[in-house]
Amino acid sequence: MIFEPSSKMAAFQPSIFSDLKNYTTIKKQQGAQLIDLSLGSPDLPPSEQIRHVLSQKSADASAYGYTLGGTDQFYAAVADYYKRRSGILLNPQTDIVQTMGSQEGLVHLPLAFCNPGDIVLTTNPAYVAYEAGITLSGAVPYYMPLREENGFLPDLSIIPEDVAKKAKLLILNLPGNPVPAMPNDNFFKQVVAFAKKYNIIVLHDAAYSEFYFTGQKPVSFLAVAGAMEVGMEINSLSKSFSLAGARIAYIAGNPKMISVLKQLKSNLDYGIFSPIQEAASFALNHAEEITDRLRREFNKRAEALTKGLNEIGWPVQKPDGGMFLWAKIPQGQDDRSFVFRAVDEAGVVMIPGSAFGTAGKSFVRIALVQSVPVLEQAAARLKKVIR
Ligand SMILES: Cc1ncc(COP(=O)(O)O)c(C=O)c1O
């Protein structure tokens, strides 16, 4: 049969992620012992109690029907978690919509709010799903650079007036991927004022909200005065609770916006398996203990890798949060050739910064997804490639 992919598929070409995966698969087949620090897929299992709830509920014969969306129990657990963590009062019925992982929510959300040609403000570099969603909706991205001198926060004041007037949506992510910049009250206040001035919907991606190493919880966007009026926060159980494979997340915020998303979702899918929703509700209800364990481990990892890299003469800063190191490549080497050289000569897999946008070109992203001893070994191995 002869067929042509749609013209939209031109925007979804194989990426550096798949090139690197193919390359490292061949290397492994040839016997290379690689330390993989490329993807941000949590390596630690979810807590035993979460797995217990999931297995018990899965044994129930009546658990296999369509759920058609979030259960009352799940929405109550999200609302309660937001209240305990950030003092935010959410109405479980109207202020939250469940998504099948935040990736699904991020890719579909622009469809709900943007017409073809509308501008979406996003960062450069940024997590790759934002661009996928913008492209699917036919909107056009406008990239706000993340510069070191601004603490890797976007500078809203340099967005041209005509762009701001045409913008429909603004996407932020703090603590970020790939850049582990942290949010602060002041910045979020500026975002709310900017969004009100130009009538822009804000979406804050808080996927790494429980990964912080300074004792200071990253502030929720919804905690800032006026945020519920202008936007939403998307959060996921993938990272904070090691539930990446369970595909469960949610968007919380402005009830009118949430209602539009619920309408879209009711046309897209029939909801998440109820035992997963029960396990996720359990996780949210016990968030403090569960996230504390993960946070301590990731703090140790960030510490060990930073120390190891500094010792080999690669000056990198320990991040205050998130799951990654965003490291400037030594000696101005090109990011892609540096990454492939690191695979060949050091057996360490990282992601070139340009995979997340042109502004990432002098950086690599290193995921803290191995134990402390393995990260120490990775740092020692990298000595060969930094000069
Ligand atoms: C910033 C950010 N948002 C969203 C996601 C998607 O996560 P999930 O779909 O598992 O919730 C990721 C995954 O790496 C991410 O880094």
Distance (Å, whole) CA 273 – CA 70: 10
Question: What are the domain boundaries of the chain?
Answer: 7-45+292-385, 48-288
Asked if pLDDT for residue 349 goes beyond 90, the answer is yes
Q: Model confidence over 324-343: pLDDT tens digits?
A: 999 999 988 899 999 999 99
Q: What pLDDT is attached to residue 47?
A: 95
Among 78, 102, 369, say which to mutate for ligand 1: greatest number of ligand atoms within 8 Å of CB: 102
Please state which CATH class domain 7-45+292-385 belongs to.
alpha beta
Percent of residues, the chain, with pLDDT higher than 90:
94
**HSE (side-chain half, CA atoms, 13 Å) at 266:** 6
Q: What pLDDT is attached to residue 13?
A: 85
Asked if pLDDT for residue 72 goes beyond 90, the answer is yes
Q: Model confidence over 12-63: pLDDT tens digits?
A: 988 888 999 999 999 999 999 999 999 988 899 999 999 999 999 999 999 9
- Fold adopted by 48-288: Aspartate Aminotransferase; domain 2 (3.40.640)
Q: What pLDDT is attached to residue 76?
A: 98
Amino acid identity of residue 230, one-letter, is V
262, 192, 257, 249: which is closest to 222 by C-alpha? 192
Distance (Å, whole) CA 173 – CA 205: 5
300 Cα to the center of ligand 1, angstroms: 22
Phi, psi of 233 (to 5 degrees): -125, 135
Asked if pLDDT for residue 387 goes beyond 90, the answer is no
> Ligand 1 in contact with 40 (CB < 6 A)?
yes
**HSE (side-chain half, CA atoms, 13 Å) at 6:** 5
Q: How far is CA 361 from CA 14, 217, 326, in A?
A: 19, 30, 11
Asked if pLDDT for residue 215 goes beyond 90, the answer is no
**Which is more confidently placed, 143 or 8?**
143
Residue with the smallest CA separation from ligand 1 atom 14 is: 40
288 Cα to the center of ligand 1, angstroms: 21
Q: How far is CA 232 from CA 222, 225, 229, in A?
A: 7, 13, 9
Q: Model confidence over 226-262: pLDDT tens digits?
A: 999 999 999 999 999 999 999 999 999 999 999 999 9
> Ligand 1 in contact with 122 (CB < 6 A)?
no
> Ligand 1 in contact with 99 (CB < 6 A)?
no
Q: What pLDDT is attached to residue 16?
A: 87
* Contact (CB, 8 A) for 94 and 261: no
Which atom of ligand 1 is least distant from the CA of 41?
14
> Ligand 1 in contact with 82 (CB < 6 A)?
no
Asked if pLDDT for residue 347 goes beyond 90, the answer is yes
> Ligand 1 in contact with 47 (CB < 6 A)?
no
Q: What pLDDT is attached to residue 96?
A: 98
Q: What pLDDT is attached to residue 319?
A: 97
Asked if 7-45+292-385 and 48-288 have one fold, the answer is no
Q: Model confidence over 48-57: pLDDT tens digits?
A: 999 999 999 9
Among 43, 97, 127, say which to mutate for ligand 1: greatest number of ligand atoms within 8 Å of CB: 127
Q: What pLDDT is attached to residue 297?
A: 97
Average pLDDT taken over every residue of the chain: 96
Q: Model confidence over 270-319: pLDDT tens digits?
A: 999 999 999 999 999 999 999 999 999 999 999 999 999 999 999 999 99
Among 78, 236, 251, say which to mutate for ligand 1: greatest number of ligand atoms within 8 Å of CB: 236
